[in-house]
A and B are shown apart, each in its own frame.
Chain A
Amino acid sequence: MTKKEGNSKNPLHGLWALTNRELKKWYKNPYFLFLSIIQPLLWMGLFGRAMNIGAIFTNISLPPLPGVPPEQLQLIQQQISEFSKEILKNIFGVEDYFSFMSVGILTMVVLFTSMFSGMSIVWDRRLGFLNKVLSTPVARGSILMSKVFNAVIRSLVQASIVLSFAAVLGLTVGPDFTPLNLLGVYLALFLIAIGLSSIFILIGIRSTRHETQMAVVNLLNLPLLFASNALFPVNLMPDWLQNVARVNPITYATDATRQLILYQINTQQLIFDFAYLAGFALVFSTIGIVLSWRYLSK
């Protein structure tokens, strides 16, 4: 009999086993790993580098104006350029859009990875794996949390790769940046990953068709991304969108990471960012555990 052998009652045992199962699928398959990283890199390269919004203002050449001597034209051009840099700094907080945007991409990586974590639970249900796991003594909450941790770990690894690429491509760090700030960056990404993946896994846990999950993911991903400051500053958005962006946790994760990497740190704002993110992660992972417990022990 099993009981006498002193099986571990430690819930982490099963939790890690389930998390590792998912991670193995990912790191043992270089093709899959490559694909999951290539997308944010493409975004960063195309959006940030090719569509260089900053260049619209700073890289101008005025047409010859009648009656204006070329030297003066040159001067005007230079002044406009300087002036534009100020405008850019006002809008984006930094002089180049690429830095602004590539830090935003970090949150995007987390968002996209978390979204697809809900898919695997739909598959597990369809293929009967979920039922098999449920017939073992593993804690019900571990089943959900393993998916969450899988998404978190994947997100953080992918974000690190994206961040190093951004550094190579010319990310300019802010005056307050020290390598220690990276810990804060990881903490912010960790919190947002927990909250987001809990939400999507919760949606996934109830759906029996992966098409439904796919539709939900497609419906939510761009609105969540664009109604945030990940790619564009919130205060230039129309009012109604600003309101959405102000509750969108992605805005807070992005603001925290930007402050830590690019900006002069506003301590008060940074604390608020982290508090918001911690609350978000805590609330949704708790709801996730409670509801999955109830749903899975039907």
Chain B
Amino acid sequence: MAGDALVVEGLTKVFNKSLVAVDHVSFTVKEGEIFGFLGPNGAGKTTTINMLITILRPTEGDAEVCGYNIAKQPSEVRSCIGVVPQEYTADEDLTGLENIILCADLYGIPREISKKRAQELLELVELTKFESKQVQTYSGGMRRRLELACGLINRPHLFFLDEPTLGLDVQTRRATWDYIKLLKKEYGMTIFMTTHYLEEADMLCDRVAIIDRGKIIKIGAPDELKEGLGGDIMTLSIEDSIIDISSTIATVPRVKEVKKQDGAYRIKLEEGEETAPSIIEAIRSEGHKVTRLSLTKPTLDEVYLEYTGKTIREEEESRESFLQQRVALRRARGGPR
């Protein structure tokens, strides 16, 4: 379809004839938006990306990247995309600049253009000072930025980011988001990214698809998804903890659900700020006194919990330790040769 950077229809990948990694996934990414795949480890995010960037052949289904079919026109697809994989793929023995030029050469970009672009990109990701240092001296954040710069050397139309801040500390992660936003602003490409950080999806993505066990469970803008939960959540207590006034609260307009738990009322409501005073009034008119009250906006965390039945934090733990193991292993073996 015109105006869509990515159209995916029924994309499926089955490994070894039995393991369904991606299960009939369909979605569309519009020109210029940041679209995120949010899901736990093993949900099929990377497998989906690998099919879209033409390094893995789908078992079933089809996709069009920048208007080119991934199965029939892989070369065209490859020239119009940029990819930043999960791993640090820059060559540690080469300098930052040499790595970018290498990427440029792989796209067949003439040297006079690639040199200019490399400088421009290095400046944007603030690595100009380190351009002639070997990558093995770079920190995690610097390596990420270098990967971003490498991925953009061919001025991609559609930019794939696979877990762009995996394994980075909180500060570096935030800084990396800023770089992604900056690059997006500068080059105006469409971005498809995967993440298992809710915050990241919330901060960066225009739309999010929640994926679990190879299936898309829900697609929407982060705010939309949060609203889809049924609005805000209010917790309040009254002086008399024995009497139950749930039915009174439920009569207030825009209140959707009231539960009494451990002497406090958990109320799901729309437009929390506006509705709260009416609730207090209703309680007062019954002759009770509100002693405690809190109002929370739903987070993507709760959205995730609602749709997948688990918190993403549980997954994060194992993912991180897995990565650390890999890095340790790699160091122990003396790095790439």
Contact = CB atoms under 8 A, between A and B. Distances in A.
Interface of A: 1-3, 5-10, 13-14, 16-18, 21, 24-25, 28-29, 119-120, 123-124, 126-129, 131-138, 210, 297-298
Contacts of A18: 102, 106
Chain B interface, >50% SS class: loop
Given A1-B155, A21-B102, A137-B75, A129 B91 contact: yes
Contacts of B183: none
A16 B81 CA distance: 22
B337 A14 contact: no
B105 A17 contact: yes
B277 interface: no
B106 A17 contact: yes
Given A13-B108, A14-B106, A24-B93, A137 B337 contact: no
Contact of A128 (B53, B75, B89, B113): B89
By Cβ-Cβ distance, the 7 closest A-B pairs, closest first, are A17-B105, A128-B87, A8-B108, A136-B106, A137-B78, A7-B108, A135-B83
A287 to B, nearest CB: 22
19 contacts: A1-B80, A2-B156, A3-B80, A7-B154, A8-B110, A9-B108, A14-B108, A29-B93, A120-B337, A124-B336, A128-B85, A128-B86, A128-B89, A129-B91, A133-B106, A134-B55, A135-B85, A135-B160, A136-B154
A35 to B, nearest CB: 11
Contact of B87 (A119, A127, A138): A127
B105 A14 contact: yes
B176 to A, nearest CB: 18
B55 A131 contact: yes
Contacts of B86: 128
Nearest to A26: B93
A263 to B, nearest CB: 38
A3 B105 CA distance: 15
Interface string B254-265: 000000000000
| Interface-centre pick from A24, A135, A297 (highest chain B CB count, 10 A) | A135
Contacts of B56: 298
Contacts of A25: 91, 93-94, 337
Contact of A127 (B83, B107, B109, B330): B330
Interface residues of B, number: 41
Contacts of A123: 336-337
B107 A7 contact: yes
B108 A127 contact: no
Given A7-B79, A13-B108, A136-B103, A131 B91 contact: no
A39 B261 CA distance: 76
For B105, B109, B110, the residue with the greatest tally of chain A CB atoms inside 10 Å of its CB is B105
Nearest to A28: B93
Given A24-B98, A123-B336, A136-B78, A2 B107 contact: yes
A5 B108 contact: no
B157 interface: yes
B104 to A, nearest CB: 8
B57 interface: yes
Contacts of A127: 87-89, 330, 336
Interface in B151-180: 154-157, 160
A137 B89 contact: no
A21 B91 contact: yes
A232 to B, nearest CB: 32
A24 B94 contact: yes
Nearest to A134: B55
Contacts of A14: 105-106, 108
B54 interface: yes
A138 B74 contact: no
B50 interface: yes
Contacts of A7: 79, 107-110, 154
A275 B86 CA distance: 47
Nearest to B75: A137
Contacts of A138: 106-108
A282 B110 CA distance: 31
Contact of B79 (A2, A21, A133): A2
Contacts of A28: 93
Interface string B115-156: 000000000000000000000000000000000000000111
Contacts of A16: 105
A31 B79 CA distance: 38
A17 B110 contact: no
Given A5-B113, A128-B87, A297-B74, A119 B330 contact: no
Contacts of B105: 13-14, 16-17
Contacts of B88: 127-128
A29 B93 CA distance: 9
